[in-house]
Structure formats: C-alpha cells, structure tokens
Chains A and B, each alone.
Chain A
Amino acid sequence: MTKKVFWGVLAAASAVAGFASADTLDDVKARGKLICGTSTGLAGFSAPDANGRYEGFDVAYCRALAGAIFGDPEAVDFKPLTTTNRFSALSAGEVDVLARNTTWTLTRDVDLKNTFIGVNYYDGQGFMVPKELGVTSARELDGATVCIQTGTTTELNLADFFRANNISYEPVPIETNAEAQQQYLAGACDVYTTDASGLAATRASFEAPGDHVILPEIISKEPLGPLVRQGDDHWADIASWTLNALIAAEELGVTSANIDELSESTENPEIARLLGTEGNLGEMLGLSQDWAANAIKAEGNYGEIFEKYIGEGTPIGLARGLNAQWTEGGLLYAPPFR
C-alpha cells in the first residue's frame, strides 16, 4: 500500500518535470491529434449534436487550429472540463489548448501561468429572471436567491455588484450549467447569473424561453478567449494567429465558399499572404504554407462561425454587438498579416 503511494507520487513528480520542457507542437504532431478542452455542454459554444459530434463556437476554433496544423479539421479530440478542473487540466498537459468560454483576467494570465491568445467573444455577466417576478433591473434584486456556477469570475463579480449597490443576496453555488438550470426552473433560486451569452444559450434550451427575461444590466467585462500553457511561446503564436486568421478572413471577405477561388486568383496582396500564395508566413510558424487557408476551410471565417452557431439565425440568437469587426463598430481587430 505504502509502496503504491510512493510510486504514484514518483510518477506525478516525474510527470511535472516532463511537461516543463516539452515542445507542444512537436507533441501534438507526434500524437497526430490536437486535444482541446471544452465545456461540459453549453448550447452553441460546445455541445455534442444528435450524432454525438462536438459542435459549437468554441469547438469551431479547435477544428480551425487542427486544420492549421494537420490540414485536417477532424484531427482533434475534445475533453469536456468543468470550471473547477479546467486550469489544472491545461497546466498538467491533459489538453493542448483550452477553448472553454474562459474569461481573461490578470490573475489567470499571470498567477495561474496561462497565456491567453486572444478574445473570441466579448461578453459580460448578466442576470436572468422569470418574467412573472416583474423585475426590470438588477438593482431590484435585494434579498433574492441567486444561482451561480462555482469557481468562475461570476462569483466575484456578483459579490462586487451587490456590495457596490448595498443590497443583499443569497448565493446558491452550483457545479454545472445543467444543475443550475434545474434549480432555476424549479424556483429554488429567483435569479440565474452567468455570462450573457451563456444565459442566452441556456434560455434557448428552455421549453418556454419567452417566460424568462435577461435584465439589461451587464455587470462585468468578460472577454472570453482560448488559452494555452505559459512557457511555450511558439505554440501560443500558432494558437493566437489561427484566431487572427479567422478574424482577418472575415475582414478581407474570405469565406469558406470563395476561399479556393481566391487562393488561385487574388489580386489583394494581404489575402495572398494570408492564404499562403505569397510570402512565407506559414514557414515562420513552423506550419505548412496553406495553414490559414486550412483553418478557414474547417468551419469558415469568424463571421460564418458566429452566424452558424450563436448568431441571430440560431436558437441562441445573439447579435454581433461588440463582436463585430472594427470596421462595423465592433472590437474585432486582427493585426496585419505581413
């Protein structure tokens, strides 16, 4: 018995040592598959479809990354992670990249030794209440029972918001979105709070979405983005520029429909560099020349992915808002490809 514990600790100790030095891209290539950490199921962002295939906004990023590396968007395995174990899973090397609607904060970036590689969704924390309560503002929630997912920034924002407005509340900590939904629908809590996108996704899965309102107050900035382990800048560059490629593609009008045509005959030098028909950007990243084209081919450019999974045409029904291109009054702004 004692011996077993020792070998366990020994293995753990050597595992820690092992991951400190490895090059992630080499590991991924050797494995032949990318391992991507996603949420345990949030409609529109990452959830299995009827055939059990993972789909969604965050999942699409992982497929694009797999496309950039292998030229094959299916060369990716998904690992559902809870809010509690996501960072440990990333730092222990269980996943290569975490695309799990995770808020970019200083503590997580610096103290938890992660590298956020960009923002794929600008979000903010909101409140959802049943319509019959007649609440129109979050400031009227004095004394309410609030369901929150534990282990998220949501808890801290909530505490700050109620303290700033000098009103009280009763927190009900919940492990997963599904349990929160059950408690909220049964009336065990008056309010459900999480990121506004998550609220919209959750509400879309209700039987009667119209009976619930999302309050106008957005009480926090929640820039959600994919992240990787700190210490492997090369890998972070690949992850970051894949996201930039998706955003730039939308800005440049490159879509999954016209990408083949454009890579053969484009006059625009920026598009040519992005698609690898000009310059050697792929080589600099240690990838193939058509890496960005493969990433875009996976599920389309940023705008296409947005419309397909969470846009206004879907049950989630999110407007572009802050997530429009900078040319459209949004915050999406990809650095130049040169």
Chain B
Amino acid sequence: MAIASDPPKGGFQLSQLIYDTRYRSMTIQVATLIGVLALVFWLGANVTENLAELGKPIDFGFLGEPAGYDINQRLIEYDNQDIHARAAFVGLLNTLLVAFLGCILATVVGVLVGVLRLSHNWIVAKIMTVYVECFRNVPVLLWIVLAMAIMIEALPQPRDFRGDDPAASMLFDAFAFTNRGVYIPEPLFSRSLGDFSFFGIFDISIDLIAILAVLAAGIFTAKKIGAQADQIQNQTGIRPKTWPKTAGVILVPLLAILAILGFHLGYPALKGFNFDGGTHLRNSLIALWLALSFYTAAFIAEIVRGGIMAISKGQSEAAAALGLRPNRIMRLVVLPQALRIIIPPLISQYLNLTKNSSLAIAVGYMDLTGTLMGITLNQSGRELECVMLTMLIYLAISLCISGAFNIYNQRVKLKER
C-alpha cells in the first residue's frame, strides 16, 4: 500500500532539519536550549563583571576565615575560632535536626487528626476541624512567634527555682521547665568507649553506635521469630505465643550493653545563672519545632483524610463482613491503600516544613539561615555568595528528601501485575 508520507529515499539534507517532521521538533528544542544557555551565560557574565567593577568579585575565600562568633546550640564541637564553613555546617545540622523532629511529629499528629476528623463522634470531629482550620489559615511565622512568646512569658525563670521557698520547682527533681528551655536528664556512661572521629570533622560516640547495633540486632532476631511464627500459623492454624521471646531478644542484650557501659543519668541542677548538667532543649528549638509541626500537621491531616475517603466504602464493608474490628479495618485494609494516595503530597509537606524552618531566626534559633545567611553574611559582607550557597544547600536537602520518599513511594504504590 502506498502512503503519502513514505520516507524519502536518498541522503540526508540540511533542509530536512526544518521541513522533515521527524527532525523538526528536535531542531527547535536544540535551538531553544542554545538560546537559553546563551542568555544564562550572558546574565552570569554580566553579574560577575559588574560585581568585579563594584570591587566585589565573587569569592568564597571568606569561608576559610575564623568566624569569630558563638553559636548556642551545637550538635558538633564548635567555638568562635573555627572557620565560617564549620559555623555554616553547625547551622545546617540545626536545620536538619528541627526538620527531622518536625517531620516526625507532624506525621504523627497529622495522621491522628486526619483519622479523628472522620470520627463518628461529633465533638471529636468538630474539634479536629477547628484545629485544622486554625492552623493552616494563619501564617506559620505567627505560630512560631506565638509559641516563643508563650514559652518566654508563661514559664518561670531559672532564678525562680532558687531559695528555700522557690516560686518554681523541678518535676521529679529531674525536669526543669524554664523560659530558657527545658532541661532533661542526660544519658552518661561511666565506662565509655570514647568517640570515633569522622575524618576529623566531627566525633560520633561509640557508645551510641554500640547501643544502636545491639538494638538493630535484637529487632532483626525478633522479626525472624515473628516470621517463624507466621510459618507455624500457616501450617497449623495456631499462632504460637511470641511476645516473651521477642521482648527477651530485644531487651536483654540492650540492658546488658547499658550495664556494661555503666549507664546512668545526669540530672540538671541550678548552678550560677543557669541550670547545669542534663540536656538543654532550648526554647527556640521547642517553639520552632512545635509551631512547624502543628502547622504542617494541619495540612497532613487533610491529605490523610483525603486518602482515606478515596478508599471505596466497599473495602471497609467487606473487611467488616469478614469480622475485623474497626481499628483493624483501618490498620490492615484502609491505611495501606490510602498510603498510595497520601505519600506523594506528603513529600511536598515535608519539603515545606524543611524550607519553613528557615524562619528560625524569628526566635533566635541558629539554623543555616541564621549562621551562613545571617551572621556570616553580615560579618563578611558577601551577600551574593552566601545567598547562592544557602540556596544550593536547601536545594540539595530538598532533593535528598524527595529522592528518598520517591523510593518509598515506589514500594508502596499499587503493583500492577
């Protein structure tokens, strides 16, 4: 059969790039790409040249100079003689800490609220509706400032704990809630294994690694025991009692390693101006963490509610017909299916939370924005470099988060066979 668009025989001609539909789209795309690249290059060169003319050529040398300022919350060793790059790294870790804590709390609260909003209990459902509408309709910055103001004004000062008849007292003599933060007991090891230096950049406690390794091994063994129980159940229909065994393989080695390391708690005590000892959770961290979590949780709640409502009613009715109880229906039938719908928008909420953490400076939390784009920028006066570097780091964090969750999404999404 003869069709008009039979490919012409013969050699390739340049005019084909425009007139041949097989090549034309490619030609246009390549030309556009070249144009865009040229424009970007021209703009970049223009900025560089003008900055050089202003006497401010782009130069990242300042990152190697001593920072000269102190940071209150440090997850790694840092003092004011360390370089700006390390100060930025300390800030980055603070950003990651609040983002990590925030994502966990936001997920827990969000899922809970999302499920409760569908409750048949009128009061509970309405309370959750009010919560969601209040939190997601007020800018997060205001929630952060409000949380901080409440912490500062409502909680007692450390000096209120002093004297024979103090105005405030510690909870169980172990927890102190002050307007500078919460002091909690810290884990100490009298027979510590010391620290492991990670390429000389920061130290990791070997005690922590040992405990985590023992815990991981315990959980792994417990899973094996569970799998064995499943097998027996499938063969005989009777499930053997597993919990004493699983609890044993997890708890006994854990307690053993803690005893070997000489685990004990260090309690905070009032000394001088402040509490000494214990772990100090600064009010800036707590305020930022709670505000970001509860704000993002309102959005997650809606995503979860949407996901659950998208599961057809027949699914839960069928499960009920099999005799499953309501909480099992939710856990075993509805949520696993809803997850497929929930995960993609959930990723963008995690990204939002991470990026919103850059509002930290409002409460004096020294995150990446506070260190690199705050004090370092101010002291070095390198605006463009600091802003570009900060943008690059946030971009990298966001891409890592979405990359990791996309892998997870691949695993939970509907497998079509």
Contacts and interface: CB of A to CB of B under 8 A. Distances in A.
A288 interface: no
Given A156-B69, A188-B180, A150 B43 contact: no
Given A150-B370, A188-B179, A6 B378 contact: no
B274 A182 contact: no
B71 interface: yes
Given A150-B378, A155-B69, A186-B153, A143 B51 contact: no
Contact of A107 (B53, B362, B381): B381
Interface stretch (A9-17, A72-80, A310-318): A9-17
A188 B379 contact: no
B381 A112 contact: yes
Interface in B134-175: 149, 152-153, 157-159
Interface string B43-58: 1001100110111100
A215 interface: no
B64 interface: no
Given A16-B51, A87-B381, A186-B179, A142 B272 contact: yes
A279 B71 CA distance: 57
Given A150-B378, A156-B379, A171-B70, A113 B54 contact: yes
Interface string B360-384: 0110101000100011011111010
B326 interface: no
B267 to A, nearest CB: 17
Contact of A172 (B47, B51, B72): B72
Contacts of A183: 152
Interface size class of B (residues with CB under 8 A): 35 or more
Given A151-B378, A183-B152, A188-B283, A143 B370 contact: no
A205 interface: no
A135 to B, nearest CB: 9
Interface in A226-253: 230-231
Contacts of A220: none
Contacts of B39: 6
B54 A16 contact: yes
Most buried by B among A160, A189, A230, A231: A189
A307 B51 CA distance: 43
Nearest to A12: B47
A30 to B, nearest CB: 22
Nearest to B51: A16
B54 A20 contact: yes
B46 A17 contact: yes
A139 interface: no
A145 B274 contact: yes
Contacts of A33: none
Given A20-B50, A159-B80, A187 B56 contact: no
A88 B387 CA distance: 12
B403 interface: no
A174 B70 CA distance: 13
A88 B374 contact: no
A9 B80 CA distance: 36
Contacts, number: 120
A187 B180 CA distance: 8
A88 B272 CA distance: 41
B224 interface: no
A173 B364 contact: yes
B370 A173 contact: yes
A144 B274 contact: yes
Given A17-B46, A190-B273, A84 B374 contact: yes
B331 interface: no
A143 B70 contact: no
Interface in A84-114: 84, 87-88, 91, 107-108, 111-113
A143 B152 contact: no
Contacts of A283: none
B239 interface: no
A260 interface: no
A126 B39 CA distance: 52
A16 to B, nearest CB: 4
A83 interface: yes
B271 interface: yes
B381 A145 contact: no
Most buried by B among A83, A141, A145: A145
Contact of A155 (B55, B152, B375): B375
Nearest to B364: A173
A156 B164 CA distance: 39
Given A150-B370, A173-B370, A16 B50 contact: yes
Contact of B375 (A20, A150, A187): A150
Contacts of B377: 84, 151
A187 to B, nearest CB: 3
B54 A182 contact: no
A256 to B, nearest CB: 38
B374 A151 contact: yes
Interface string B246-274: 00000000000000000000000001111
A189 B51 CA distance: 41
A10 B55 CA distance: 20
B46 A13 contact: yes
A115 to B, nearest CB: 12
B361 A175 contact: yes
B274 A143 contact: yes
B203 interface: no
A156 B68 contact: yes
B288 to A, nearest CB: 13
B157 A187 contact: yes
A328 interface: no
Contacts of A221: none
A13 B50 contact: yes
B276 interface: yes
Given A6-B39, A13-B43, A187-B159, A171 B68 contact: no
Interface in B378-404: 378-381, 383
A143 B364 contact: no
Given A84-B378, A108-B381, A159-B68, A187 B51 contact: no
24 contacts: A6-B43, A17-B46, A20-B53, A84-B377, A84-B378, A87-B381, A88-B383, A113-B54, A113-B56, A133-B273, A144-B274, A145-B274, A150-B364, A150-B375, A150-B378, A151-B378, A155-B375, A163-B80, A171-B69, A173-B72, A173-B374, A182-B149, A186-B157, A186-B179
Given A12-B47, A83-B378, A143-B271, 9 more contacts: A20-B54, A133-B273, A145-B180, A150-B374, A173-B374, A175-B362, A182-B152, A186-B157, A187-B158
Interface of B: 39, 43, 46-47, 50-51, 53-56, 68-72, 80, 149, 152-153, 157-159, 179-180, 271-274, 276, 283-284, 361-362, 364, 366, 370, 374-375, 377-381, 383
